[in-house]
Amino acid sequence: MTASRIDDSALRAEVRAVGALLGRVIREQEGERIYQLVERVRTLAVARRRRPTAPGERTLQRLIRRLEQEDIEAVARAFTLFLHLVNVVESRHAPQLDPGAGSGSLAALLRRLSRRGTPSDLVARTLSDLRATVVLTAHPTEATRWSVHKILSRVDRALEAGARAGEAELLREITALWQTQLQRERRPTPIGEVQHALHTLETVFQDAIPRVHERLAKAFESAYGARLEPPARPVRVGSWVGGDRDGNPNVTAWVTSEALRLHRQTTLAAYWRAIPTLIDLLTPSEKRVPVSEELRASVERDLEELPRLRERLEGYESHELYRRKLNAVAVRLELSMEETDAAELPGLRGGYPDAGALAADLELIDRSLRGERGARLADGMLQTLRERVASFGFRLASLDVREHQARHRAAAASLLCPVEGPLEGLPVEEQQRFLEHCFLHEPDEPLPPLDSLDDAAREVLSTLLTVRESMARLDPGAVRDLVISDTHDHANVLELLVLARRVGLVRRSSDGGVESAVNIVPLFEKVDSLAAAETSMERLYESPAYRAQLRARGMRQQIMLGYSDSAKDGGYFAACFALQRAQRALADQAARHGVHLEFFHGRGGTISRGGGPTHRAILAQPPETVRGRIKLTEQGEVITSKYGTSEAAVHHLEQLASAVLEATLAHPMQGRTARVSWMGAMDTLAERSRARYRGLVYEEPGFVDLFYAATPIEEIAGLRIGSRPAKRRGGRRIESLRAIPWNFAWNQNRVLLSSWYGAGAALQEMLAEPDGEQRLRAMYRGWLFFRTVIDNLQQVLAKVDMEVGAAYGELARDLPDAVALLQRIRDEHTACRRSVLRVVGSKRLLEGEPALRRSIERRNPYIDSLSQLQLELLRRKRSGGVRGATLEAMDGAIQLTIAGVAAGLRNTG
């Protein structure tokens, strides 16, 4: 698709319409003066982008410098809201403007497969084993309040009605937006986060996932002319919200247990709420058509077992058997909820022992209807509910539990060797021997009273006990995966295995093997641990203790890859390549050991956190590493932008499922995978870029001060956008800062350094070598991985604004090294931009992605203005000149601009 060929006129018209309505509301609410001020800033910012001149730049800066705090806030609010409205409009049009939308659909892919002669039974078999799992996390990357999102989704609905038809509604919602406080004043609690995730799961995923499966079935039928048997349900959803405690002391064992309870209750309640509609719809009378004998017998049984059913049925005709049965279903669902709350075993009071029992009741109704010419009745809502129960069971998402390896280590030390001293400090082989011995030979002993253990051990063990209790009582699938963050080596995995055994999640069985209720998932997230991952896994695959665990889990192993921490550690290029190389090696190794491997990609929104278009990212994985399974995180602002509505969610989930199927069966670059020499070149690029990146970020003594002075990192750390703290430990070291605020800060000052620094020098050096340019261009043309890395860099570079960055740099003026360091950053940026363009062979960035380029261009003047406003506020705050405003008000205004810039970039960090 080229620039001239995209037709985004409908999108542009809608942007103009909402912009005009916003203007009207500002006039009504604030009066002419503010309206004119907003317009003036806007006009100057647009002019600055069209014709960058120094006097134009200065006029805008002068104007902003003179503004009172209140006026700054009004302008910031206006632009933030405009950017939010643009986001809504763009999301509505995204499926049509997505360059991969057509070819990435399931229908197109299945047609291609069928044309290519891929046999239908192979496709059906692959589909029945396919898993594409999206995991929602509570990572603090959504700067917009949930209440604001709710208003924005009403805006979306009003736009759906047509800008004209919905005008009154749009004006109402925009007025509500204007009068709503945009920034948070209180941190969400972990339970608030759980409830919010459940809201998304219930309102979006519960509807979207069955729709994707339906599309898949239809696409298969139309491509192969046969029904898809067995029906495939490849799309899954998981959650970390309430289960991820890594670095978040607010997520306690109680929070996890409450999250599990809420998941179950929300799901049961959603099914229960669907029943009255079915009662309205399924009115057939026995006087008109018979019902099956099994249905009649089951209603008899229900009446015997459920005393409250008789009363409930008093108002119903006795010849309407479907309605009678559906009432029984409603009663059993109510009892199931009561049993959960009373901490009883499911089924004890007449509730459903498991989701299979509910499915069986619904199938009974379905069979009876179909057996008596009622297929049309069975195909409607009943079918939808059956599909939901089949897709979700009694949980909308299964919960993963994640903890940092150091906490497991502390717990293992305190539990296993309180006398001998900690495991820390022993060579890893000795740790391995000790842990294997504990796992294989120590007798099953009851746990010591938790009170006798230290805090870390108590919390780690109570969490594992909660998980075990919940799985044993309520739902064996409620939790499947225990993730270990910052895994260094195999001892970290064995530690958790031993702990899991001590709490009974893993048990020795009578036949000498083990039974295990959970997967143990190492998360490799540093460049060095990624490089050593193959060795770590080799030790595990050879370990008798770990092999027993693997056998108990059907020889399936999940490995999680951390994108942002590896990029924070070694820079973008080095992280990308370390991840790519590790995946290949790990996949080959697993195949050698007869292990089915599933990669879990810990990706965030920005490029340096693994963001970028998912479809493309999956196809860029080494072909042999997908093999029908993929799991990935979706977080914060990505959840709202990709899964804000069912429509958007269906689109993204379909693209995901289709990419996984394509990567498994029909990799587009098969036979064109990386040549050995390309791997070598990439290795060189990664190494050079890493040295350059670390040389600045970790080795340059003045860098930390520059970072704190020239970004709003302190204000970001003070944002109350998630329950998790911004740092793992105190102090100002880059190492203790989490990856999210690190990226967030660089996005805000528009330098986006964390996404590209180091790549420029590496590319430039290679371009200067004989044949360097030729080689890099060939890699770009022929190696999808490299192409994705470079195209993502293009996206990042298109969002960088070095002029704004330089103005932030002024905030660091008093630091001795600032000038030299800022110059180094500028030079590296120039090198990066030039080199990327040479590799791509184009004159400007994003030549091949006109929709994205236009979107960035549309937003830029507003983001620029917000940056200028933020800068002015920071300047005032740091010089102590708050001009009558309280510090709190000042921080509030800065946070407003932070949220505005994040909305404009569509990424926090």
Cite the active site residues: 139, 568
520 has which bridge partners? 482
Q: Are 510 and 541 in contact (CB under 8 A)?
A: no
249 or 881: whose CB is closer to ligand PGA?
249
525 or 891: whose CB is closer to ligand PGA?
525
CA of 825: how far to CAs of 21, 99, 740, in Å? 41, 33, 21
Size of the site for ligand PGA (CB under 6 A): 11
Residue 698 one-letter amino acid: Y
Name the pairing type of β-strands 519-524 and 556-562.
Answer: parallel
234 or 570: whose CB is closer to ligand PGA?
570
The binder of ligand PGA chosen from 480, 502, 609, 750 (CB under 6 A): 609
CB of 603 to ligand PGA, least distance (A): 7
DSSP-derived letter for residue 116 is T
In the three-class reduction of DSSP (H, G, I as helix; E, B as strand; rest coil), residue 313 is classed as helix
DSSP-derived letter for residue 600 is E
CB of 562 to ligand PGA, least distance (A): 6
Residue 537 one-letter amino acid: M
Q: Which two tokens stand for residue 248?
A: 């978040």
Determine the residue with CB nearest ligand PGA.
Answer: 564
How big is the chain by its Cα radius of gyration, in Å?
A: 29
Q: What is the 3-state secondary structure (H, E, C) of 174-219?
A: HHHHHHCCCCCCCCCCHHHHHHHHHHHHHHHHHHHHHHHHHHHHHH
**Exposure of 292 by Cβ count < 10 A (0-12 exposed, 13-18 middle, 19+ buried)?**
middle
CB of 589 to ligand PGA, least distance (A): 24
485 or 487: whose CB is closer to ligand PGA?
485
Name the pairing type of β-strands 235-239 and 556-562.
Answer: unpaired
Closest alpha carbon to 602 in 196, 256, 142, 136: 136
Q: Give the helix/strand (H/E) hosting 126.
A: helix 120-129
Q: Are 852 and 846 in contact (CB under 8 A)?
A: yes
Q: Which two tokens stand for residue 480?
A: 């499947």
Residue 498 one-letter amino acid: V
900 or 909: whose CB is closer to ligand PGA?
909
CB of 733 to ligand PGA, least distance (A): 15
CB of 199 to ligand PGA, least distance (A): 21
143 or 873: whose CB is closer to ligand PGA?
143
Q: Are 415 and 453 in contact (CB under 8 A)?
A: yes
Find the part of the chain contacting ligand PGA (CB under 6 A) among 72-80, 146-154, 168-176, 558-566: 558-566
Q: What DSSP string describes 829-895?
A: HHHHHHHHHHHHT-SSTTTT-HHHHHHHHHHHHHHHHHHHHHHHHHHHHHTT--TT--HHHHHHHHH
CA of 500: how far to CAs of 380, 439, 464, in Å? 45, 10, 7
Positions 132 through 171 that interact with ligand PGA (CB under 6 A)? 139
| Contact letters for ligand PGA, residues 737-776 (x by CB under 6 A) | -xxx------------------------------------
368 or 485: whose CB is closer to ligand PGA?
485
Find the part of the chain contacting ligand PGA (CB under 6 A) among 222-230, 342-350, 560-568, 807-815: 560-568
| Contact letters for ligand PGA, residues 240-259 (x by CB under 6 A) | ------x-------------
558 has which bridge partners? 598
604 binds ligand PGA (CB under 6 A): yes
Find the part of the chain contacting ligand PGA (CB under 6 A) among 159-167, 434-442, 649-657, 734-742: 734-742
Positions 565 through 584 that interact with ligand PGA (CB under 6 A)? 565
CB of 187 to ligand PGA, least distance (A): 17
Closest alpha carbon to 700 in 794, 828, 580, 600: 828
d(CA 892, CA 719): 9
d(CA 339, CA 347): 8
| Contact letters for ligand PGA, residues 582-601 (x by CB under 6 A) | --------------------
388 or 609: whose CB is closer to ligand PGA?
609
Helices 54-66, 32-50: crossing angle, 10 deg rounding: 150
DSSP-derived letter for residue 737 is B
Q: Are 341 and 360 in contact (CB under 8 A)?
A: no
d(CA 300, CA 704): 74
The binder of ligand PGA chosen from 266, 267, 549, 564 (CB under 6 A): 564
d(CA 216, CA 179): 44
Find the part of the chain contacting ligand PGA (CB under 6 A) among 307-315, 377-385, 545-553, 559-567: 559-567
Residue 421 one-letter amino acid: G
CB of 566 to ligand PGA, least distance (A): 10
124 or 138: whose CB is closer to ligand PGA?
138
CB of 229 to ligand PGA, least distance (A): 39
Greatest C-alpha distance within the chain: 92
Positions 826 through 885 that interact with ligand PGA (CB under 6 A)? none
DSSP-derived letter for residue 523 is E
Find the part of the chain contacting ligand PGA (CB under 6 A) among 208-216, 358-366, 458-466, 557-565: 557-565
The pair phi, psi for residue 801, each rounded to 5°, is -130, 100
267 or 907: whose CB is closer to ligand PGA?
907
The pair phi, psi for residue 96, each rounded to 5°, is -75, -30
CB of 3 to ligand PGA, least distance (A): 33
247 or 850: whose CB is closer to ligand PGA?
247
Positions 457 through 496 that interact with ligand PGA (CB under 6 A)? 485
d(CA 450, CA 458): 5
Q: Are 562 and 738 in contact (CB under 8 A)?
A: no
604 or 900: whose CB is closer to ligand PGA?
604
**Exposure of 179 by Cβ count < 10 A (0-12 exposed, 13-18 middle, 19+ buried)?**
exposed
Find the part of the chain contacting ligand PGA (CB under 6 A) among 205-213, 265-273, 656-664, 735-743: 735-743
Residue 805 one-letter amino acid: G
Find the part of the chain contacting ligand PGA (CB under 6 A) among 313-321, 331-339, 736-744, 756-764: 736-744
CB of 564 to ligand PGA, least distance (A): 3
Q: Give the helix/strand (H/E) hosting 507.
A: strand 506-508
215 or 738: whose CB is closer to ligand PGA?
738
CB of 523 to ligand PGA, least distance (A): 7
CB of 571 to ligand PGA, least distance (A): 15
CB of 640 to ligand PGA, least distance (A): 16
Binding site for ligand PGA (CB under 6 A): 139, 246, 485, 562, 564-565, 604, 609, 738-740
